[in-house]
Amino acid sequence: MDNNLYNNIYKATLTDLEFKQLSQFIQSNYGIKMPPIKKVVLQGRLHKRLKHLAIPDFKTYIEYVFSREGENEIIHMMDVVSTNKTDFYREPVHFEFLETELLPQLFKLHGRGTFKVWSAGCSSGEEPYTLAIVLQEFKEKNPGFDYQVLATDISTQMLQTGANAVYKEEKISIIPLSIKKKYFLRSKDHNDPRVRVVKTLRDKVSFQRLNFMDNTYQVNDQFDIIFCRNALIYFERENQEMVINKLCQKLKPEGFFLLGHSESITNMNVPLKSIKPTIFKKT
Ligand SMILES: C[S@@+](CC[C@H](N)C(=O)[O-])C[C@H]1O[C@@H](n2cnc3c(N)ncnc32)[C@H](O)[C@@H]1O
């Protein structure tokens, strides 16, 4: 790319009107709140797209995004707009509760069969693979038990990372050694140490693009447990309530629903009762 164009792209600024056009579109189609304070953040994230497309300013970018030829660009725009922070064993209390209480309880209730868990807003896969580790460990101790994990997100880049299942080795530093050895393969490149989740777990987790704001969710199964953690914090309350209701339609009677630790359903009209903070059961 010519140097001049490159430098100009990083100087491109979003006008208030351009910010409004984009933020209204993002909020109404993808739920993610974009108050005016987010203008500089959005501008910074979108510079990457301008650079990739060699588009010099936001006016031209917006015309492109909303044109017929630019339809695909919306997917890439959402890749940079979404906040994807995640970790293996993030909020570990949930995984302890899964192992010691939920799984024994549900296995006793339903017996043999395939247990279905949904990681909704899965980001780059650390959450669904942590679920798969806990479920695999339980399976090995409980003959007749089997499981599947569905992992969905709006970001195609995150879903691709999840499906590849390759992570920097430092990402698994908090995992106990015996679990690391059993479920991660190490790369031979000492300059860029990476690990890959083993095939046994990769085969159990399927990744799918799903927008929480879709009218109906293209998911055939009914789930025993839904993890929807730290994804709806960026949504307006009424959208949070609408999404939780739609997710609950995919939850089996007596199924469990988990939110992130800073999230709540207080004053929401949703078919859930609280078991513990952030852990709910379908009513
Ligand atoms: C902060 S991450 C949380 C990841 C994981 N659940 C955790 O707690 O570590 C939030 C995820 O929600 C996804 N997300 C945001 N808006 C979405 C939407 N409208 N539909 C589906 N996923 C969405 C983002 O792409 C992001 O990967």
pLDDT digits (tens, 9 = 90+) for 104-118: 999 988 888 899 999
Does residue 97 belong to any structural domain of this protein?
yes
Same domain, 232 and 100: yes
Same domain, 103 and 224: yes
Does residue 248 belong to any structural domain of this protein?
yes
CA angle 162, 246, 216 (to 5 degrees): 80
Does residue 210 belong to any structural domain of this protein?
yes
Q: What is the DSSP letter of 101?
A: I
pLDDT at position 109: 85
Same domain, 184 and 206: yes
231: Cβ below 6 Å to ligand 1?
A: yes
Range of the domain at 204: 92-282
Amino acid 39 reads K
Take atom 26 of ligand 1 and give the residue whose Cα is closest.
84
Q: Are 87 and 171 in contact (CB under 8 A)?
A: yes
CB atoms within 10 A of CB 170: 10
Same domain, 170 and 235: yes
Which one of 31, 57, 81 terminates a domain? 81
213: Cβ below 6 Å to ligand 1?
A: yes
Q: For residues 171 and 88, what is the distance between their CA atoms, to the nearest angstrom? A: 7
Does residue 190 belong to any structural domain of this protein?
yes
Q: Are 281 and 256 in contact (CB under 8 A)?
A: yes
Domain CATH number, residue 178: 3.40.50.150
Same domain, 74 and 113: no
Which one of 81, 108, 129 terminates a domain? 81
Look at the chain and report how many structural domains it folds into.
Answer: 2
For residue 27, give the 3-state DSSP assignment: helix
Does residue 235 belong to any structural domain of this protein?
yes
Same domain, 155 and 239: yes
Q: How far is the CA of 246 from the centre of ligand 1 (A)?
A: 16
Q: For residues 29 and 215, what is the distance between their CA atoms, to the nearest angstrom? A: 11
For residue 13, give the 3-state DSSP assignment: coil
Atom of ligand 1 nearest to the CA of 31: 19
pLDDT at position 1: 65
Q: Are 217 and 246 in contact (CB under 8 A)?
A: yes
Q: For residues 134 and 93, what is the distance between their CA atoms, to the nearest angstrom? A: 13
Selection from 135, 137, 165 nearest residue 147 by Cα: 135
Same domain, 65 and 100: no
84: Cβ below 6 Å to ligand 1?
A: yes
Beta strands in the chain (DSSP E): 113-120, 145-153, 166-168, 184-186, 194-197, 205-209, 223-228, 251-259, 272-276, 279-282
Q: How far is the CA of 100 from the centre of ligand 1 (A)?
A: 26
Same domain, 135 and 211: yes
pLDDT, averaged across the chain: 95
Amino acid 67 reads S
Which one of 29, 46, 81 terminates a domain? 81
Selection from 219, 199, 98, 215 nearest residue 151 by Cα: 219
Find where tokens 């939920």 sit: 102
Same domain, 98 and 38: no
Atom of ligand 1 nearest to the CA of 213: 19
Per-residue model confidence as pLDDT tens digits over 57-98: 999 999 999 999 998 999 999 999 999 999 999 999 999 999
pLDDT at position 4: 73
Same domain, 75 and 111: no
Does residue 30 belong to any structural domain of this protein?
yes
Q: Which residues of the chain have pLDDT under 50?
A: none
153: Cβ below 6 Å to ligand 1?
A: yes
Does residue 86 belong to any structural domain of this protein?
no
Same domain, 17 and 156: no
Domain CATH number, residue 24: 1.10.155.10
% the chain with pLDDT above 90: 90
Q: What predicted TM-score, i.e. pTM, was given to this entire model?
A: 0.95
Same domain, 33 and 168: no
